[in-house]
A and B are shown apart, each in its own frame.
Chain A
Amino acid sequence: MTQVIMGGCDGENTWRLKDYVARGGYEALRKVLSGMTPDQVITEVKTSALRGRGGAGFPTGLKWTFMPKNYVGDKYVVCNSDEGEPGTFKDRDILRYNPHALIEGMIIAAFAMGATRGYNYIHGEIWSVYERCEEAIEEARSAGFLGNNILGSSFSFNLYNHHGYGAYICGEETALLESIEGKKGQPRYKPPFPATYGLYGKPTTINNTETFASVPWIIQHGGQAFLEIGRPNNGGSKMFSVSGHVNKPGNYEVPMGTPFATLLEMAGGMRDGRAIKAVIPGGSSMPVLPGHIMMQTDMDYDSIAKAGSMLGSGAVIVMDDTTCMVGMLERLAWFYHEESCGQCTPCREGTGWLYRIIHRIEHGQGRMEDLDLLLSLSDNIQGRTICALGDAAAMPVRSFVNHFRAEFEHHITHKRCLVGSAHSEKAA
């Protein structure tokens, strides 16, 4: 099974430049600099059908064409390593075990788009990873992969790490730019999009860590080879972060289109052999799906969409039959309420309201009409906010209530959990 990103990453020092080069690292960059044109690079990425791994799944090659070609002045590439979507922990492993794949990917991207500077925005809570990335960049710089006239070419590019300090919203790309600019991480209204007005008002492209880290492989092996690993329109392999009630939580890089059942098996199957109840297939912002539906679904953008959810960031949260869905939704609602940047009205006021209603239900104070109110409020938030956090807060609510309505009703009428004491963690 071909692993685009983590292939060969076993052992202590896989993150070191030496190891990376031994694995064939920076060969793609050499290839690019010894004769490819920026357009050829972009075409290769387009052929690969690589789609953004940060959540939205936007075709990467297409995104790169949005950067103005003849712009005079600085252009930027920015990597989104602010991984904070509950359930997602793949980018941390890329940065920990294979940071040079990201660095090389960013250099190639910068070349393709004519960018001169890049920033890698690293999630606040993973300090040691940031320190490692600082070292990795230093290694790359000393080896001549970063800086002026890279590998003797006329191409120059500088890359820096920017460390976050605890705000989920900075994962939203324009909030991330504001944050690099030294402001609160509050998303910008779009348009204008970053490709025209990005970091410091300059043309900017933002991609996820995994997206950039896939690029060297694509260049080295060709876009077609990448596409063929996965499915049409769903190219390549993808890292899935599997968490929750499984025996071996962790990251699994598998070809796009791998059946969920296979992925679950790789993760050691259900913990304690219990029955699967529900799965959030793409990170906490995506609709939850009942376990039996997931067991029929393949892990790629289109299949999951067909099943009624989204692949998102590829975070697979597995819940067994002891799980209290009301309690889980309460925790998620609290998250969005706490992490709303507070800028726009529906999200600032709506997420708090949602949380308070769910909190009431969880604590035996619910009213039957609350369920329709939750759905109505979700409708009133979704699609009306500056950024997609509003949607991210609304979608779980809607899907939890719709798929597990009986459980919510039980909570309201009996003032306690349907799964009762079986709800292991709460009761313990």
Chain B
Amino acid sequence: MSLLSPQSIQRIDHEIAKYPADQKRSAVMSALRIAQEQHGWLPRELMASVAEHLELPAIAVFEVASFYEMYNLKPMGRHKLTVCTNVPCALSGADHFCESLKKKLGIGFNEVTADGEFSLKEGQCFGACGDAPVLLVNNHTMHSFMTEEKLDALLKELKS
């Protein structure tokens, strides 16, 4: 039984249509993303459902899910916060920003807050080095030129 919701399946099929008819497999990245949007992370059975829908061996789907950084193979906090700490960002305040973020959340990298609200991750280059410090919320919303004030406001907004 597929764990993908009808909406997810519809969205996945829209992605499948981008590729030649015999290359359904190409949609696996989008399919995993959509599945993750549906569920927050990618448990085994959900990956199996993606595999079934795309007629792929389950391990082939797992290979993809475990290769790309933005798939969550474990449960995450409701909001996954990723900060780029690579050199250009580090030169522009990312390290300092991370310290205060950790202090505010009371967790380190790769941890989840006790209330399950936030996970914190250290990211590689987002391709937005000019906007440092940059923070990504749940993979899809980027916040640029982060400051203490902007962070406080953001955390408050996300919590509510």
Contact present for B142 and A335 (CB under 8 Å) = no
Q: Which residue of A lies closest to B123 (CB)?
A: A125
Write the chain B residue with the least CB distance to A122: B127
Which residue from chain A places its CB closest to the CB of B96 in the assembled complex?
A428
CB pair A183 B64 closer than 8 Å: yes
Contact of B86 among A83, A86, A126, A249 (CB under 8 A): A86
A200-B23 contact given A88-B129, A124-B70, A164-B68, CB 8 Å threshold: yes
Cα of A319 to Cα of B130 in the assembled complex, Å? 14
Asked if A319 meets B125 with Cβ closer than 8 Å, knowing A127-B140, A200-B23, the reply is no
* B23, B85, B131: the one within 8 Å of A181 (CB): B23
Task: For the complex, give the distance between the alpha carbons of A73 and B28 in Å.
Answer: 24
Q: Which of A155-171 contact B (CB under 8 A)?
A: 160-168
The reply to whether A165 and B129 contact each other, CB–CB distance below 8 Å, is: no
Pair B64/A339 contact, Cβ less than 8 Å: no
State which of A43-51, A239-247, A346-354 sits at the interface with chain B.
A239-247
Determine the chain B residues whose CB is within 8 A of the CB of A168 once the complex forms.
124-125
How far apart sit A328 and B136, CA to CA, in the bound complex (Å)? 22
A348 to chain B minimum Cβ distance, whole angstroms, is 13
For residue B8, which residues in chain A have a CB less than 8 angstroms away from its CB?
none
A280-B99 Cα distance, complex, nearest whole Å = 26
Q: Do B20 and A180 touch across chains, with their CB atoms under 8 A apart? A: no
Interface centre among A89, A165, A250, A428 (most CB of B within 10 A): A165
**A126 near B124: Cβ-Cβ < 8 Å:** no
**Interface 1/0 per residue, A163-200 and B, CB below 8 Å:** 11111100000000001111111000000000000001
Instruction: Determine which residue in B25, B26, B54 has the highest number of CB atoms from chain A within 10 A of its CB, and name it.
Output: B26
Partner of A182, one of B25, B123, B139, B141: B25
* Interface membership of chain A positions 227-264, coded 1 if the CB is closer than 8 angstroms to chain B and 0 otherwise: 00000000000000111110001110000000000000
Q: Mark A297-329, 1 if CB is under 8 A from B, else 0.
A: 000000000000000000101110001000010
Q: How far is the CB of B95 from chain A (nearest CB, A)?
A: 4
CA distance A298 to B4 in the complex (A): 55
Interchain nearest-CB distance for B48 vs A (Å) = 16
Q: Is there an interface contact between A331 and B127, defined as CB atoms closer than 8 Å?
A: no
Tell me the total A-B contact number using a CB cutoff of 8 A: 171
Most chain A CB atoms below 10 A, which of B20, B70, B85: B70
Query: How far is A84 from B141 in the complex, measured between Cα atoms in Å?
Result: 17
Chain A contact residues, majority secondary structure: mixed
Compute how far the CA of A244 lies from the CA of B68 in the bound complex, rounded to whole angstroms.
27
Number of A residues with CB within 8 Å of any CB on chain B: 59
Residues of B within 8 Å of A164, CB to CB, are 29, 68
A238 to chain B, nearest CB (A): 16
B22 to A, closest residue via Cβ: A200
Does B128 have its Cβ within 8 Å of any Cβ on chain A? yes
| Known interface pairs A86-B86, A244-B88; A127-B67 also in contact (CB < 8 Å) | no
Output the nearest chain A residue to B82 by Cβ-Cβ distance.
Answer: A125
Find out whether the CB atom of B88 lies under 8 angstroms from the CB atom of A317. yes
B79 within 8 A of A: no
- Which residue on chain B has the smallest CB distance to residue A74? B20
Q: How far is the CA of A117 from the CA of B19 in the complex (A)?
A: 9
Q: Are B87 and A165 in contact (CB under 8 A)?
A: no
8 Å CB interface, B52-99 against A: 54, 56, 60, 63-64, 67-71, 82, 85-88, 90-96, 99
Q: Tell me whether B128 and A125 are in contact (CB under 8 A).
A: yes
Nearest A residue to B95, CB-CB = A425
Interface 1/0 per residue, B14-38 and A, CB below 8 Å: 0000111001011111101100000
Given the complex, which residues of B lie within 8 Å of A126, measured CB to CB?
A: 126-128, 142
Q: Is the CB of B68 within 8 A of A124?
A: yes
**CA–CA, A185 and B159, complex, Å:** 35
Interface string of A390-428 (1 = CB under 8 A from B): 000000000000000000000000000000000001101
B6 to chain A, nearest CB (A): 22
A117 to B21, CA, bound (A): 13
Decide if A332 is an interface residue (CB 8 Å cutoff): yes
Is B28's CB under 8 angstroms from A88's CB?
A: no
Chain A residues with CB under 8 Å of B67's CB are: 167, 184-185, 341
Contact between chains at A338 and B91 (CB < 8 Å): no
Query: Are B127 and A244 in contact, CB atoms less than 8 angstroms apart?
Result: no
Q: Is the CB of B26 within 8 A of A331?
A: no
**Which residues 46-93 of A sit at the B interface, judged by CB distance below 8 A?**
74, 83-89, 91-92
Chain A residues in the interface with B (C-beta under 8 A): 74, 83-89, 91-92, 117, 123-128, 160-168, 179-185, 200, 241-245, 249-251, 280, 284, 315, 317-319, 323, 328, 331-332, 335, 338-339, 341, 425-426, 428
> What are some 11 contacts across the A-B interface (CB < 8 A)?
A83-B127, A84-B124, A86-B125, A92-B128, A166-B68, A168-B125, A179-B29, A182-B23, A183-B64, A185-B68, A428-B99
Other than A317-B87, A331-B86, give 7 A-B pairs with Cβ distance below 8 A: A84-B126, A182-B23, A244-B91, A280-B87, A315-B129, A335-B87, A425-B95
Q: Which 4 A-B pairs have the closest CB atoms?
A: A166-B69, A182-B25, A166-B70, A127-B140
